Amino acid sequence: MSSLSESAAGAWPPRESYSSVVRLGLLARLEAERERWALWLPVGFGLGVGGYFGLGQEPPGWLGVAGLLLALSLAWLARRWPGFFVAALALVVLTAGFGAAQLRTALVAAPVLQERLGPVWLRGQAIEVEPRGRGLRITLRHIKLAWLAPEETPARVRVTVANGGEKIRPGDWLRLRAILRPPPGPAAPGAFDFARQAYFKRLGGVGFALGRPLRIEPPGPMDQSVVTRWTSAWRLWWSAQRYRIARRIMAALPGEAGAVAAALMTGVRGAIPEQVMQAMRDSGLAHLLAISGLHVGLVAGLLFFGLRALLALIPRLALFYPIKKWAAVAAAAGALSYLLLTGATVPTQRAFLMVGLVLLAVVLDRSALTLRLVAWAALAVLAVAPESLLSASFQMSFAAVTALVAGYEVLRDRRARLFAERGLATRLSLYFSGVGLTSVIAGLATAPFAVYHFNRIAWFGLAANMLAVPVMALWIMPWAIVAFILMPFGAEGLALAPMGWGIDAVLWAAAWVAAWPGAVSIVPAMPVQGLVLVALGGTWLCLWRGPWRLYGLAAILGGGLLIPLATPPDVLASGDGKLFGLRTPDGEVILSSAKVRRFEAETWRRRLGGTKAAVWPRTGESAGGRLSCDPLGCIYRARGQIVALVQDSRALLDDCALATVVISREPLRRGQCKGSRVVIDRFDLWRHGGHALWLSEAGVRIETVGARRGVRPWVPQRRWK
């Protein structure tokens, strides 16, 4: 008995608690994966960025710098204790991300319109000109606006020109009459915030032109530094080339194929018809229209292998010179030109950084594609533009590439054995199986982000990608490169014609798959907590190597379970009171109008999980008798609550006595509606933005756009004048 006790004591020392054993085991696992620690740098940096943007109030300007200095001091003091030192370094990375986001917000600060303005005369220089289905969308800088002082004038505005803009080019100075308004905020609490995106583009107003814009002579020289003038001229030149090439492509290849070709070669997507975009979304092929790693990788790869093959035809060069490195340098230059030509979006930046590092590895005779490469690319993008963390393009792009590199890292040796000494037929079958596996991995990695941002799941994306991706890789993009090469000679039409055949095949596949029954599902809005859990769980699964990586599946599962558990609001009201929306207990989405606030209406439908939205009758009943309307307003009964949606103040006397919730598009006097527990009038909607209400037997829960956005530089603060 005593020997058993002694052996037990040796196996489990009584002096060590269970928490100590767990801590030692965790430290041992971390030590075993020391070479993977660097992969977590962009994760910690991104958490700091996310912490900044998650604040409800703008922090003091000194907070980011003070936090970083404090973290660095702690790291210096803890340098002799490895565990504390690693924790302090993590805090340094976290505070660096917070500080970078705060600094970026300060650097891009520019005036934003606070209210609707116009019709007003506007003067400025066009820096971006994008063809639309009808007319043009023009972004202008060096703005001069009537009725506004220079310190209140936005740095940039964007206007839509319906006619008369055919001859406008980037760099032209224009004078036009327009109606402008502040960049719109979210259509509902938690929805996409265009105003925040516009703030970081220094876009202070949007609107539309009245009549034709007039081209005018440039004003006198600007008060700018030499570097600023050079950088501005350089960007303007690339914008002009982008527009010119897009026009030439659509002239040589008219119709839908030409619009898609222009999008693939220049990133200009405004001319693609909406029905084509819808089919691409519903079939899971929308990623083919966004310039990303696929396109940049194909351009660089085709240039690299093509040029290397041509140089190999010259024996003296092949035998005595490093033609592989020459081809890598040329491919990097081509990828850089493609990046600048397509507008340098976040996915394109990420793709170029990765491709550039791969080609640099070729030049230096080093290993190429690794997760470390992905991590440095993510850190570089976040350091330059921290706000990109919140964009769907950044999230989906890095989720897909991280999952793909991690997945193929596991399968690398097995794939090498499969491809070794195989015949052509076997290699082709392995290629198509690789396309399928890539689509599955990328689809699973990006699905949570597609649900969060777009409220949709394309169930047959694998089938569509199996049909479209080989055509894109083996036919469309090679002809695109040939078209670029022929363009200086005016012969791009020779390559655009066969390129159009491939595009027609892809569009046919998209329309065919999108028409399958149940091709797409619309799901209610996903809570941000669920997205964070899925993202962290997926990161944990991909970045570690040991068996403990599987713990990430628990976080992914937990985040996914929040989707069905999330309850969409029962009632929605727009910020101006012109649109109301209901989600009945049966899941039906009903709107007050199909003609006003169409963008908000479409956003509501998706976030409420409705495949379509009905319009309630002007008079009569609907929704199984729960909704009854007359010309003055409607009464809605659900979950023990009675909601009055008031269109005309003459209905207030009766509605205030009957309803527990009153939402009025008309302003109310203090104490005018005493009978109701919850009263929301025109002033509340104007001050706090759109409202969302959850009804229950116990009461009513309310969220507003204003409360979710907080007091931030990109949020206009409504005050009484």
Query: Given the DSSP bridges, would you call strands 203-216 and 456-458 parallel, antiparallel or unpaired?
Result: unpaired
pLDDT value for 149: 86
Could you give the percent of the chain with pLDDT greater than 70? 91
Tokens for 317, please give them.
Answer: 């060069």
Residue 6: pLDDT above 60? no
Work out the angle at residue 257's Cα, subtended by the Cα atoms of residues 255 and 261, and round it to the nearest 5 degrees.
Answer: 120
Alpha carbon distance, N-terminus to C-terminus of the chain = 87
**616 Rama sector, left if φ>0, alpha if ψ -120 to 50, beta otherwise:** beta
Strand (E) positions, 618-713? Answer: 620-622, 627-630, 633-638, 641-646, 661-664, 678-680, 691-696, 699-704
For residue 523, give the DSSP letter.
Answer: -
- pLDDT on residue 705: 93
- What is the mean pLDDT of the segment spanning 616-633? 84
Strands 661-664 and 641-646: parallel
Query: Looking at residue 509, what is its pLDDT?
Result: 95
Angle between helical axes of 274-282 and 493-514 (0-180°, round to 10)? 60
Residue 4 has a pLDDT of 38
Higher pLDDT, 66 or 438: 66
Give the pLDDT band of residue 631 (cuts 50, 70, 90).
Answer: confident
Q: Does the structure show a pLDDT above 80 at 671? A: no
Amino acid letter, 144: K
Q: What are phi and psi of 483, to 5 degrees?
A: -65, -40
Query: pLDDT of 436-484, one tens digit each?
Result: 788 888 888 988 998 999 888 889 988 998 899 889 988 999 999 999 9
Partnered with residue 622 across adjacent β-strands are: 627
- The predicted model gives 91-102 an average pLDDT of 96
Q: Report which of 710, 720, 718, 721 is spatially closest to residue 114, judged by C-alpha positions.
A: 718
Helix axes 41-53, 528-543, angle to 10 degrees: 170
Distance (Å, rounded) from C-alpha 529 to C-alpha 541? Answer: 18
Segment (H or E) for 529: helix 528-543
Q: What average pLDDT does this structure show over 579-602? A: 88
53 within 8 A of 97, measured Cβ to Cβ:
no
The pLDDT of 328-355, averaged and rounded, is: 85
Tokens 């006097």 — which residue? 669
- If pLDDT is split at 50, 70 and 90, which confidence band does 545 have? confident
Question: 173 has which bridge partners?
Answer: 125, 216
Cis previous bond, 119, omega within 30: yes
The runs of H, that is alpha helices, within 201-345 are 226-252, 255-266, 274-282, 293-312, 315-320, 323-341
Q: What is the pLDDT of residue 593?
A: 87
Q: Is the pLDDT of residue 14 over 60?
A: no
For residue 221, pLDDT over 80 is answered with no
pLDDT tens-digit profile of 293-338?
778 888 888 899 889 999 898 888 888 888 989 999 999 999 999 9
What mean pLDDT is reported for the chain? 86
Q: What is the mean pLDDT of residues 75-97?
A: 88
Give SS3 for 189.
coil
CA atoms of 173 and 214, how far apart (whole Å): 8
Give the strand order in the sheet containing 627-630: 620-622, 627-630, 633-638, 641-646, 661-664, 678-680
CB 563 within 8 A of CB 582: no
DSSP state, residue 524: P
If one compares 492 and 563, the residue with the highest pLDDT of the two is 492
Bigger pLDDT: 54 or 666? 54
What pLDDT shows up at residue 476? 93
Kindly tell me if the per-residue pLDDT of 25 is higher than 80: no
- Give, as one character, the DSSP assignment of residue 580: E
Are the beta carbons of 204 and 111 closer than 8 angstroms? yes
If pLDDT is split at 50, 70 and 90, which confidence band does 5 have? very low
pLDDT of the residue at 355: 85
pTM over 0.85, yes/no: yes
Residue 103 has pLDDT above 90, yes or no: yes
From 126, 291, 104, select the one nearest 200 (Cα to Cα). 104
> pLDDT at residue 263 above 70?
yes
Backbone angles phi, psi at 115, to 5 degrees: -155, 170
Separation between Cα atoms, residue 417 and residue 314, nearest integer Å: 33
Phi, psi of 531 (to 5 degrees): -65, -40
Using 50, 70 and 90 to split pLDDT, how confident is the model at 521? confident
pLDDT number for residue 186: 93
The C-alpha atoms of residue 442 and residue 489 are separated, in whole angstroms, by 39
Which has the higher per-residue pLDDT, 201 or 24?
201
β-pair type (456-458, 620-622): unpaired
Q: What is the mean pLDDT of residues 160-188?
A: 88
Rounded mean pLDDT, 408-415: 71
Whether pLDDT at 590 is above 50: yes
pLDDT beyond 50 at 93: yes
Q: How far apart are CA 492 and CA 482, in angstroms?
A: 8
